[in-house]
Chains A and B, each alone.
Chain A
Amino acid sequence: MTKAVVAGVGMLPFGRHRDKTLSGLGAEAVSAALSDAGLAWRDVQAMYCGIVGGGMNPGAGIGERLGYTGLPITSIDNASASGSSAFREASLAVAAGRVDVAVAAGAGKLSQSFGGGSARPGSPEEREANIRIMQGIMPPAGYFAMRTRRRIHDFGSTIEQFALVSVKNHKNASRNPFAQLQNELTVEQIARARMIADPLTVPHCCPMGDGAAAAVVVSEKRARQLGLQPAITVEASAFRSGIYRNGPPDEAETTHLTAQEAYAQAGLGPDDIDLVQVHDAFTVEEIEYCEQLGFCEVGEGERMIENGETAIGGRIPFSTDGGLLARGHPLGPTGIAQVWETVQQLRGLSGPRQVAGARVGLVHMVGVGGVCIVHVLKRS
């Protein structure tokens, strides 16, 4: 343990900043604080951003402006205490010895954005909205449709191979009373379904929905006192954002880097993992992440699903509860639902979808802003 020391501070005058966006304001304050500390953005190992509102993952917008260095960025919305919470998390990260340099940032633009509403004419928000219009407004499916199309071009895969991921997940979900979509589907049905963004029909995309999940974590000492048997331990917790290498980062590459970090923390490798929960909001994702998590070579993902290697009973079962595609994806609770499924599997309590002899589970999520989080859980 160490004490956290405040090395620099920076701020912008409070009032009106109509010529700057929320993330622009945050990035300026971070730059000022780093300059005060005599440090550079590249030195920062973790950032916590307190922002109320501002869309999904506003902290990632601050990081995007400063550069893709791969550091974990956490957005915190704790209402009036959001900035205080960010400072607390940064202090704790340092005090725990996890990082040497952490930044706490806060930003607000309530003069225009409180309670939502559309961008004021002439504002930088309107400018960014107009750029997005020119770039082609798309649902999330559009982005993954383009990724799917390019993968088909690069690897000669077929859309039916991707559909098999949805078939497998729906089958798993049909054995999960907590799943949103418990109906089984065939490749033919998936091909006939309504097109969202070519070549993705509805069952290639996760449903929208509501839900909740929670997990309790205790110390080993407390676990012994509670007599927990078996104990499920967190062997790794890795968190990264994208790094700029041959272009803007994508979730596949960030998954690879985050998994490497998680395997190193756990002292384990892909061969030690018995089951996996991945962010499979779209079918192409299981194929890509199967490769990037190290279960096969790049280009072999289609073969994995075709040969049933990621099915329950296969070499490395993926999304045993139906995954985002069928168990559902209400955003907030999804990552904890993955932990719930993994813990039940490691306890041997998963009934008709039990992975025989499961001892080690890997849990993977990606999110808006290019973040990736991988946990490894082990039954000991």
Chain B
Amino acid sequence: MTPDSGAPLPLVDGVFKIADGRPVLLVSRCSSCNERFFPPRERCAACSNENMQTEEASQDGELYTWTVVRELGGQREGFVPYVVGQIDLAGGPRVTGVVVCDPDAPAIRMPVRLCLIPQGYDDAGNELAGYGFEPADAKR
């Protein structure tokens, strides 16, 4: 778990990995009915089968729908506004996440790709990052 390159660590283990500075989401596939789930789960939500396999999902997708959170718990300052979307990854499944973009930018079917979002530091001072999305044409 010791980073040797200054690369951030995933905020949560077992949900996504970081490859070449970008997140790769880990998806559970049911060995019985082939349904895919994110975040990963131990048991199929569709058929209750307990034999799940872990796969890597595509890093690209498009917006299924989205909103701009303007107010949270009565707070209207601080982190808001920010964009949250449901994203259909290429080949599935549909996942929910923050979209890093201008609140005026999103549109349904807009191409997006996974990106890292800084999430502070752990107790040992390692940089942490979560997954998020950005427009596919965003400058890297």
Query: Which residues of A are interface residues toward B (Cβ below 8 A)?
Result: 40-42, 64-69, 121, 127, 130-131, 133-139, 142, 145-147, 149-150, 153, 194-200, 244, 247-248
Contacts and interface: CB of A to CB of B under 8 A. Distances in A.
B94 interface: yes
Contacts of A146: 65-67, 84-86
B67 A138 contact: yes
A215 B104 CA distance: 48
A134 B46 contact: no
B11 interface: yes
B47 interface: yes
B45 A149 contact: no
Given A130-B119, A130-B130, A134-B11, 14 more contacts: A64-B45, A121-B123, A134-B15, A134-B98, A134-B117, A135-B98, A136-B98, A137-B69, A138-B67, A139-B73, A146-B85, A146-B86, A149-B108, A197-B67
Nearest to A122: B123
Nearest to B33: A244
B69 A131 contact: no
Contact of B44 (A40, A67, A142): A67
A213 B52 CA distance: 46
Contacts of B85: 136, 146
Contact of A196 (B11, B45, B71, B117): B71
B43 A66 contact: yes
Given A41-B48, A134-B98, A134-B130, A198 B11 contact: no
Contact of A133 (B69, B70, B108, B119): B119
A244 B41 CA distance: 15
Given A147-B65, A153-B108, A195-B70, A134 B132 contact: yes
Contact of B45 (A42, A135, A248): A248
A139 B71 contact: yes
Q: How large is the interface on B (under 10, 10 to 19, 20 to 34, 35 or more residues)?
A: 35 or more
Contacts of B43: 65-67
Interface in B111-131: 117, 119, 123, 130-131
B64 A150 contact: yes
A131 B39 contact: yes
Contact of A135 (B64, B97, B108): B97
A136 B65 contact: no
B98 A130 contact: no
Q: Which 4 A-B pairs have the closest CB atoms?
A: A136-B84, A67-B48, A145-B67, A150-B65
A197 B47 CA distance: 34
B101 interface: no
Query: By CB atoms of chain B within 10 A, which of A130, A133, A139, A149 has the most?
Result: A149
Contacts of B96: 135-136
Contact of B47 (A67, A131, A133, A153): A67
A136 B72 CA distance: 11
A127 B68 contact: no
5 contacts: A131-B39, A138-B67, A142-B84, A196-B71, A198-B103
A199 B98 CA distance: 17
